[in-house]
Homo-oligomer: A and B are copies of this chain.
Amino acid sequence: MSFQRIAIIGLGLLGGSIGLAVREYLPGARTTGYDSNPATRLRAAGRALVDQVHDTAADAVREADLVIFCVPPGAMGDAAREIAAALPAAALVSDVGSCKQAIARALGEALPNHAIIPAHPVAGTENSGPDAGFATLFHNRWCIVTPPEPGDLVLLSKLVAFWEALGANVEIMDAQHHDLVLAVTSHLPHLIAYTIVGTASDLEDVTQSEVIKYSAGGFRDFTRIAASDPTMWRDVFLANRDAVLEMLQRFTEDLTALQRAIRVGDGKQLFDHFTRTRAIRRSIIAEGQDDARPDFGRADHDTA
């Protein structure tokens, strides 16, 4: 019933975590892997992220019944073309990318005769590369699956079971809606974090050493996600351009309104806005999507 030979193309944080999670939670399945970077392949073999690391993508997928692309969105098309000739006809093609419409198009063009069901585990850390992965990355995280219409329901249910076995909660969603939701919950926050970290490091009156020194006042929270993989994020913004620009427009309008409240000294508007945003934090904690300990339980904060 479940997938037996899983090929992972791209052995960074996501690909490596999938490999480790399959070994931990689906011990019957065999994993193969490939990465275009030879140093990453070497390190992946060293950490045994998959059962076997191959020197070509084609070799990695030759016996696969599931292939998962874990490369940046802009590299999906080329990676899929590399395996087109070697991939068994019955194999399911999936991925873990953060924008689903563009990736579905790229994979579909490269592999027109294969079943393709894109997916996106909403999980990650600021670290990347073959040393970053761990088996529990997907625990209690959502995995959004965006099947095409009409789709193969047997393959869909196998893919859902696969992600559930790795600890994720699965949600089925339309690809277009996914791209809108992620634009606000992930892409816009990253863009803003990248911006403010850049702004802070370009000041003349405040030195970079002061910014770093006093970052505990709030700035450091932004630096975490602004340390994420640059290649992946470049590709995400280019691939999900329209939804990101739409959300950015709304954000800018709201920021302008608060800016005006500060300029004219409208304390009531500021207070009302700041009170409203507290409720969201409480819901995120209540649903287990974040850590309730103050400051995420950062070192030295013993509230006991």
Kindly list chain B residues whose C-beta atoms are within 8 Å of the C-beta of A227.
Answer: 277-278, 281-282
Instruction: Give the secondary structure class of A's interface.
Output: helix
Kindly list chain B residues whose C-beta atoms are within 8 Å of the C-beta of A245.
Answer: 259, 262-263
| Cβ distance A75 to chain B, nearest Cβ, rounded Å | 12
Which segment of A31-39, A84-92, A210-218 sits at the interface?
Answer: A210-218
Over the window 238-270 of chain A, the binary record of Cβ atoms lying under 8 Å from chain B Cβ atoms (1 yes, 0 no) is 100100110110111011001100110101001
Closest to A219 in B: B185
Which segment of A4-12, A53-61, A110-118, A283-291 sits at the interface?
Answer: A283-291
Kindly list chain B residues whose C-beta atoms are within 8 Å of the C-beta of A216.
Answer: 122-124, 141-142, 289-290
Which chain A residues numbered 11 to 35 have a C-beta less than 8 Å away from chain B?
Answer: none
Kindly list chain B residues whose C-beta atoms are within 8 Å of the C-beta of A125.
Answer: 294-295, 301
Count the copies. 2
CB-contact partner of A254 in B199, B277, B299, under 8 A: B199
Do B271 and A194 touch across chains, with their CB atoms under 8 A apart? no
Which chain A residues numbered 161 to 203 have a C-beta less than 8 Å away from chain B?
Answer: 171, 177, 180-182, 184-203
A1 within 8 A of B: no
A52 within 8 A of B: no
Interface size, chain A (Cβ < 8 Å): 115
* Distance between Cα atoms of A28 and B139 in the complex (Å): 49
Do A203 and B219 touch across chains, with their CB atoms under 8 A apart? no
* Distance between Cα atoms of A273 and B274 in the complex (Å): 30
| Cβ distance A66 to chain B, nearest Cβ, rounded Å | 24
* Distance between Cα atoms of A215 and B288 in the complex (Å): 10
Kindly list chain B residues whose C-beta atoms are within 8 Å of the C-beta of A241.
Answer: 262-263, 265
| Cβ distance A299 to chain B, nearest Cβ, rounded Å | 6
Kindly list chain B residues whose C-beta atoms are within 8 Å of the C-beta of A46.
Answer: none
| Cβ distance A275 to chain B, nearest Cβ, rounded Å | 5
Listed in ascending order, the chain A residues whose CB lies under 8 Å from chain B are 74, 98, 122-127, 132, 134-137, 139-142, 144, 171, 177, 180-182, 184-203, 205-206, 208, 210-228, 230-231, 233-235, 237-238, 241, 244-245, 247-248, 250-252, 254-255, 258-259, 262-263, 265, 267, 270-271, 273-278, 280-284, 287, 289-291, 294-303
